[in-house]
Structure 1
Amino acid sequence: MTGSSRPRYAQRSLIVGVLLAFTLIFWSIQLFILMLALDAFLGKEYALLWPAAISSALLATLTLWLVRLIPREPRE
């Protein structure tokens, strides 16, 4: 293990941590949107279902994009 690999590993760990934090936040927002959509469906407010579905799909796309950004390099 050389001295230059330690900062690189720390930087990669920080990036992975930030990406996972944003992923968790987006999943929480998506769960909240799901609860709102179910409440609207049970309350027969069907006008809210399409905007909820579209925003949930956009959040899912953003979350998948963030997960793909996580570096897949093995530790050296």
Structure 2
Amino acid sequence: MNNTQKQKTVMLDLILVFILVLWTIQLFLLITGLDAYLGGDKGILWPIAASSLVLGGINLKLVSMIRN
């Protein structure tokens, strides 16, 4: 394997790790939002939804980088 292929493999691995970490944070936000909703605290739901959408957009961008 030449140097360029090694670099592509490392970049792919890093992107996949970032996707996994961001997905885990989104899952945490979902659980936190559900807990707040069931506890009656509805003021935190919009910021949680907005940050989850931002993380989803970042994840989509990272996935599109894998395809190229």
**Residues 10-25 of structure 1: matches in 2 within 5 Å?**
10-25=6-21
Alignment-mate amino acid for residue 30 of structure 1: Q
Unaligned 5+ runs, structure 1: none
Q: Which residue of 2 aligns with 1:70?
A: 66
- How much identity, in percent, do the aligned residues show? 38
Count of aligned residue pairs for this structure pair: 68
Superposition deviation, residue 36 in structure 1: 0.4
Bigger fraction of residues in helix: 2
TM-score by length of structure 2 reads 0.93
What are the Cα deviations for residues 40-66 of structure 1, in whole angstroms up to 9, with x where unaligned? 000010001100000000000001101
Residue of structure 1 in register with 2:48 after alignment: 52
Q: Which has the larger radius of gyration?
A: 1
> Among residues 30, 34, 37, which one is paired with 1:38 in the alignment?
34
Q: TM-score by structure 1 length?
A: 0.84
How far does residue 71 in structure 1 lie from its aligned partner after superposition?
4.8
Letter in 1 for 2:16: L
Q: Runs of 4+ in structure 1 displaced over 4 angstroms?
A: none
CA distance in 2, matches of 1:22, 1:47: 29
8 Å Cα contact 1:16/1:71 also seen in 2:
no
Distance 2:15 2:21 in 1: 10
Structure 2: which 5+ runs fail to align? Answer: none
